[in-house]
């Protein structure tokens, strides 16, 4: 691949304010060059190799490709932004976990698994972070909202899909499956 094309894609990824897809690269900065999807992927692979031993890495996430600081530097880099970290409550984390592993799911189903009511503030906290989206309505009386995790959730956690979530402990998984059936 010509170095100027590699450098152009590299520059685009650095200045973009959001992840770039192969299609976006093809239709914008590489439009005149008529690169196939495989050729653009090869360029991205070359960039990943170029940054193999650096402080940043090229990551493929749900919404495309972007450069990110390597995880091993996160604590040191956090000092650049001394703002207070927002702690998520246990209720928010439990609800998010249930939605990620069992969504789309209704609020009542979440409550059945957790064994306690899900406060509106819990759902609102997840909506505020854009980690949660409506996935439709369940076809039962009352047509309750179905909730699922969003692309922002996947991107914020560095995932391409929910299949990349860590495997749950067998006992917890059995409890979720049992509670989910009721």
Q: pLDDT tens across 17-38, in order? A: 999 999 999 999 999 999 999 9
Total number of domains in the chain: 2
78 part of a folded domain: no
DSSP-derived secondary structure for 137-165: E-SSTT-PEEEEE-HHHHHHTT-SSGGGS
The whole-number pLDDT of residue 155 equals 87
Q: How far apart are CA 70 and CA 81, in angstroms?
A: 17
The whole-number pLDDT of residue 172 equals 66
| 41 and 109 together in one domain | no
Q: Does residue 182 surpass a pLDDT of 50?
A: no
Q: pLDDT tens across 146-181, in order? A: 999 999 999 888 888 999 998 877 776 666 666 555
52 part of a folded domain: yes
Range from 114-123, 140-149, 173-182 carrying the lowest mean pLDDT: 173-182
Omega before residue 146 within 30° of 0, cis: no
| CA of residue 163 relative to chain centroid, distance | 11
Q: Mean of the pLDDT values across residues 76-93? A: 83
Q: pLDDT tens across 37-84, in order? A: 999 999 999 999 999 999 999 999 888 999 999 989 988 988 887 766
| 100 and 61 together in one domain | no
| 67 and 94 together in one domain | no
């Amino acid at each position: 691949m010509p170095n100027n094309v590699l450098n152009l894609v590299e520059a685009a990824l650095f200045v973009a304010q959001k992840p770039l897809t192969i299609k976006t690269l093809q239709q914008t900065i590489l439009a005149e060059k008529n690169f196939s999807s495989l050729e653009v992927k090869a360029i991205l692979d070359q960039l990943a190799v170029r940054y193999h031993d650096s402080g940043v890495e090229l990551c493929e996430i749900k919404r495309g490709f972007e450069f990110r600081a390597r995880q091993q530097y996160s604590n040191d880099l956090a000092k650049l932004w001394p703002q207070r970290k927002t702690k998520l409550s246990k209720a928010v984390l439990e609800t998010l976990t249930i939605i990620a592993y069992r969504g789309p799911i209704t609020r009542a189903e979440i409550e059945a698994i957790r064994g306690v009511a899900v406060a509106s503030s819990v759902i609102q906290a997840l909506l505020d972070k854009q980690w949660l989206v409506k996935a439709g309505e369940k076809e039962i009386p009352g047509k309750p909202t179905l909730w699922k995790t969003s692309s922002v959730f996947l991107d914020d956690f560095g995932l391409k899909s929910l299949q990349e979530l860590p495997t749950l402990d067998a006992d917890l998984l059995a409890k979720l499956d049992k509670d989910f059936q009721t």
